[in-house]
Structure 1
Amino acid sequence: MKPFNTTLRTLVLALGLTGSLVSLAATAAQTPEPVAATQQQQSCACFDVKVLGQGPAVILIPGVASSGDVWQSTVETLQADYQLHIFTLAGFAGVKPIPMQSWGEGYLAIQQQAILRYISEQQLDKPVVIGHSLGGYLALALAAKAPEQIGGAINVDGLPALGALFAQGNGQTGTTTGDSKPQQNRGGFDPMSMAKSMANNEQWQQRIVADMYRSDGATSGRVMGELMRADLRPQLGKIRVPVLTLGALQHGAPYSTPEQVQKNYENQLANAPAQYHSFAFAPESKHFIMADAPQWLNQQIQQFLQHNRSGAL
């Protein structure tokens, strides 16, 4: 069994911070001076968005250092019946980063505010928010904190409290990261090895690495620091819209069994009301379910949207 601290060190190496590696705790502690919320909202170019299709609105959010293109097969499946708003978050996959002096309460808070502002400005009627990894965390956060503004959420292999999982020492390596920009060969770190740990599909492994290098390393590192400190579990009891969590049971392989991975999810989301929240698990998939089990993923998404379209959505 691989020692837990070695697994954590591999994750830290993946953050690719400029200059000497800084610990996640030290990185997270370097909080910029707060900026008034109204100023943040007016100045934040928080994401790029592509809009395709017609019908009920669906927002698609990728993970750390990932492009909205990770949703391509889902877009092809849904665009005839839904209006799809496909995000790529600031600092990732070639999108300009948000200046850190304007982060205020932090990247996660800024993105939640910006997504809700986008929903209001675009006059979207209770859209479903679908997120992978970091995007899954944001989908859960919106379902818990703003259920009156969204119609439902699908969390694709994200966790509400990544740091708590690592603290347990049963590391489901990198569960809520899309990935992060590496510094090639630093300390022997191999970005392709990390990509292989997150997807079985070789073409997707190349795509993951390419997105790493197109992302801003400082943003990736700071966001990972926030995710390690974040804990949505106390807020999950406030969920009042349908939420589906899709887990990848091979994500921890070979260091965690599928049974351990599933148990981690069930423990972390135990506070979500059973009448609103449900699980489904991809038994043969690693972190990028859209790479390893795209048909299964899209079937789960379609069933969720169809089932809830005439109800809460």
Structure 2
Amino acid sequence: MKNIILFLAVFFSLTLQAQTENQPIHVTVSGKGKPVLLIPGFTVPGESWDDVVKQLENKCECHIVTLAGFGGEEPIAFPWLPKVNEALENYIIKNDLKDLTIIGHSLGGTIATWLASRENNSIKQIILVDALPAAGALMMPNFNPDDLVYDNPYSNQQLAMSEADFDQMATSMSQGMSLNKEAQRKIKDWIIMSDRKTYVYGYTDYLKLDVRENLKNISVPVTIIAADKPLGKEMITQTYKNQYANLEKYDLRIADNSAHFVMFDQPAWFMVQIQQILAL
């Protein structure tokens, strides 16, 4: 009898563990007030929003997201991004987040546009931080999402990359994403911490995602907070005009002397914009 009880205890423990692991998203909640969903960029955990949350949580209920495979969270089966998108949509519905504001950085902003384009959503407005609806189209001539597959020479090379080479690549990438030395260190650490397959195949998912047609279905206010580096204001403005051509109206705000992580490079200016948009 003791053996049966022990077996059942272990069985139910493992079953519970299986049910709680390998989720597409992981969300923590802080504060009370207006609901705000904060979605980070690729490889970046929810803690990237810590300083923003500290200044919002006295008036906002902040739902801070970390995506599977990043920030130490367990990876999930591929395709990765469609599962993430669906999980976020279900989270909003399940938690009855009415009049919701979504703040999304980079990939998080792309996801925010997808969510805002869905029928019968409860989103009040979206704030996109250096985010494009089709990053792949900007990076590749003759862009066709169907041409992007997991099994390709570049992805295979990254999967086989040594820890030292991956570390060097992460260092180089982080230096282009922020002008802030401390932020560069954090960004590098987040890249290295990411699950390697999620990093490689998840990025393929990211490049495949093209929500430019979906923009026609967005009726809520959209604010885009962009960085002026490295292209300069004129080219940045034209890039966003091209990518968001199907969006009827948006408010573009460009941060001076900032790279991709605007919240790290211009934190005071960034918070002024957020507080104005949220009318806090």
- Contact kept? 2:133, 2:211, Cα under 8 Å: yes
Partner of 2:102: 129
Selected match of 1:74 from 45, 52, 76: 52
- Residues 240 and 188 (structure 1 numbering): CA distance in 2 closer, same or farther, change over 3 Å? closer
Letter in 1 for 2:43: A
- What is the correspondence of 1:164-203 to structure 2 with a 5 Å cutoff? 164-168=137-141, 183-186=162-165, 189-203=168-182
The percent identity for this pair of structures is: 35
Give the structure 2 partner of residue 62 of structure 1.
Answer: 40
For normalisation by structure 1, the TM-score amounts to 0.73
The alpha-carbon distance between structure 1 residues 121 and 188, as it changes in their structure 2 partners (threshold 3 A), is closer
1:273 aligns with 2:251: no
| Residue 123 of structure 1, CA deviation | 2.0
**Is the counterpart of residue 120 in structure 1 residue 99 in structure 2?**
no
Q: Deviations over 1:14-59 (max 9, x none)?
A: xxxxxxxxxxxxxxxxxxxxxxxxxxx9996112211110001100
Deviation at 1:107, TM superposition (A): 2.5
Shift of 1:243: 1.2
Is the counterpart of residue 243 in structure 1 residue 216 in structure 2?
no
1:17 match? none
Could you give the per-residue CA deviations for residues 146-188 of structure 1, whole angstroms, max 9, x where no partner exists? 463211111111111111111249xxxxxxxxxx998544399
Name 2:28's counterpart in structure 1: 50
1:209 aligned residue: 188
- Separation (CA, whole Å) in 1 of partners of 2:28 and 2:111: 19
Contact 2:127 2:223 in 1 (8 A): yes
The residue identity in structure 1 corresponding to 2:71 is A
SS at 1:191 equivalent: helix
- Listed as ranges, the matches of 1:249-260 within 5 Å are 249-250=228-229, 253=230, 256-260=231-235
1:99 aligns with 2:77: yes
Consecutive unaligned residues of structure 2, counting only runs of 5 or more, are 1-18, 143-157
Stretch moving more, 138-147 or 126-135: 138-147
Q: 1:86 aligns with which of 42, 64, 88?
A: 64
| Alignment-derived partner of residue 289 in structure 1 | 262
- Which structure has more RCO (C-alpha within 8 Å, separation ≥ 6)? 1
Which residue number corresponds to residue 20 of structure 1?
A: none
The one-letter amino acid of 1:66's match is V
Corresponding letter in the other structure for 1:132: H
Displacement of 1:246: 1.0
1:289 CA displacement? 0.6
Structure 1 spans left out of the alignment, 5+ residues: 1-40, 101-105, 170-179, 308-313
Instruction: Please give the alpha-carbon distance, in whole angstroms, between the structure 1 residues aligned to 2:111 and 2:119.
Output: 11
Give yes or no for the alignment of 1:231 onto 2:206.
Answer: no
Residue 232 of structure 1 aligns to a residue whose secondary structure is coil
CA, structure 1 residues 97+259, in 2 after alignment: closer, same or farther (shift >3 Å)? same
The number of residue pairs the alignment matches comes to 246
Please list the CA deviations of residues 247-278 of structure 1 after superposition, one character each: whole Å capped at 9, or x if unmatched.
1110xx2xx3442222111210111111xx22
Distance of 2:251 and 2:22 partners within structure 1: 34
- Asked if structure 2 preserves the Cα contact closer than 8 Å seen for 1:147 and 1:239, the reply is no
Give the SS at the match of 2:37: strand
What residue is the counterpart of 1:162 in the other structure? 135
Structure with the bigger percentage of helix: 2
Q: TM-score, normalised by structure 2?
A: 0.81
Give the stretch that moved more between structures: 288-297 or 121-130: 121-130
- CA deviation digits over 1:268-311, x for unaligned, max 9? 0111111xx2211112110011110111111111111118xxxx
Instruction: Give the corresponding residue for 2:8.
Output: none
| SS of equivalent residue, structure 2 residue 99 | coil
Q: Give the CA RMSD over aligned residues.
A: 2.4
- For each residue in 1:230-255, what CA deviation from the matched residue of structure 2 results, as whole angstroms up to 9, or x when unmatched? 211111011011111111110xx2xx
